[in-house]
A and B are shown apart, each in its own frame.
Chain A
Amino acid sequence: MSAKSKPAALLGLVALAVLLAGSVVGLFVVPADAAQGDVQRLMYVHVPAAWLAFLSFFVVFLMSVLYLIQRDLRWDRVAASSAEIGVVFTVLTLALGSMWGKPTWGVWWTWDPRLTTTAIMLAIYVGYLAIRSFADDPEKRARWAAIVGIIGFANVPIVYLSVIWWRTLHQPPSSPRSVAPEILWTLMLNLAAFTLVYIYLMMRRIRLARLEGKLEERVAYHG
């Protein structure tokens, strides 16, 4: 098995192209938002990053359940890969949120329900990766991680709801604005780009997990 892979490389190039297109359109082609001005363009990277952060975590949850049922280490490798990539997207989401928030609301951080939930999700992800580092036995590692992954993800909707109640009790609900179609299309384009990047990264990261698993076996076998 080699590190090179034609399908992955091809997907990587496609993802790169779509991401480039998304950035060009988001920065130069689509008109700026009437109310917020050019800063609103950050939405085209912030929102897809957030979506992928949550998708990654959902994949961790699914794979964790699958692992506990079937005890096949393949699922654990997918879970661990999605967790690592998920951390990248989550940190990016939070950083981009600050980039957007400072010029828009004047503050680097707000206790907005989605941002707050994202920050807590990051803490859960970090716990997931941390507990993996404490087990040398692949099965034990997979089991502990799966447990943390399941409980962590189960908590996300509850956290989200509680933060919403915390923040919006006694506050008037924000009036939904209708979104212009160009904005929606640009968002979809970037969402597709980020998703392709995720799939490409998953392909590479899972392969890496498989190789590292083999190396682990060798070391364990030869002592």
Chain B
Amino acid sequence: MDNLGFIVVGYGLTWLVLSGYTWRVNRRLESADRALAEWNESDDRARESAAAAPSA
């Protein structure tokens, strides 16, 4: 194959960029998921403690 280098870099770049971006989006999704779960937990705990100790 002539000009092999350019072809390899071209196709390689395509795969690298597309999978790299996919991986990044999925990573951000997981951390957003975790962050939201933590918020929900702290909300639940706050609600429980408010129910257990009503203001006098």
Any A–B CB pair closer than 8 Å = yes
Q: Out of A41, A99, A201, A207, name the residue touching B21 (CB < 8 Å).
A: A201
Residues of B within 8 A of A91 (CB): 17
Q: What residues of B have a CB within 8 angstroms of the CB of A46 in the complex?
A: 10
Cα distance A95–B10 in the bound complex, in angstroms? 8
Contact A207 B29 (CB under 8 A): yes
Contact call A3/B30, Cβ cutoff below 8 A: yes
A 32-49 to B, binary, CB cutoff 8 A, 1 in contact else 0: 000001110110011001
What residues of A have a CB within 8 angstroms of the CB of B30 in the complex? 3
Q: Could you tell me which residues of chain A, from 173 to 223, have a CB within 8 Å of some CB in chain B?
A: 197, 200-201, 204-205, 207-208, 211-212, 214-215, 218
A92 CA / B27 CA spacing, docked (Å): 21
Count A interface residues, CB 8 Å. Answer: 38
Chain A interface, >50% SS class:
helix
Size of the chain B interface, CB-CB below 8 angstroms? 26
Secondary structure of the B contact surface, majority rule = helix
- For A154, the chain B residues whose CB sits under 8 A away are none
What's the nearest-Cβ distance from chain A to residue B28, in Å?
6
Contact of A95 among B2, B13, B15 (CB under 8 A): B13
Q: Which residue of A lies closest to B10 (CB)?
A: A99
Q: Is the CB of A3 within 8 A of B26?
A: yes
Contact A39 B17 (CB under 8 A): no
Using A38-B1, A88-B17 as known contacts, say yes or no to A3 and B33 having CB atoms under 8 A apart. yes
Q: Is A27 an interface residue (CB 8 A)?
A: yes
Check A19 for interface membership: any CB of B closer than 8 A.
yes
- Specify which of A95, A96, A99, A207 lies most central, judged by the most chain B CB atoms within 10 Å of its CB: A99
> What is the distance, in angstroms, from B22's C-beta to the closest C-beta of chain A?
7
Tell me if A201 and B25 are in contact (CB < 8 A): yes
B26 to nearest A CB, angstroms? 6
B14 engages A49 (CB within 8 Å): yes
Given A208-B28, A211-B36, A215-B32, A100:B18 Cβ within 8 A: no
Could you list 22 A-B pairs, sorted by A, with CB under 8 Å?
A: A3-B29, A3-B30, A19-B18, A23-B11, A26-B11, A39-B2, A42-B6, A42-B7, A42-B10, A46-B10, A92-B13, A92-B17, A99-B13, A103-B3, A201-B22, A204-B29, A205-B25, A207-B29, A208-B25, A208-B29, A214-B36, A215-B36
A residues near B, CB below 8 A? 1-3, 12, 19, 23, 26-27, 37-39, 41-42, 45-46, 49, 85, 88, 91-92, 95-96, 99-100, 102-103, 197, 200-201, 204-205, 207-208, 211-212, 214-215, 218
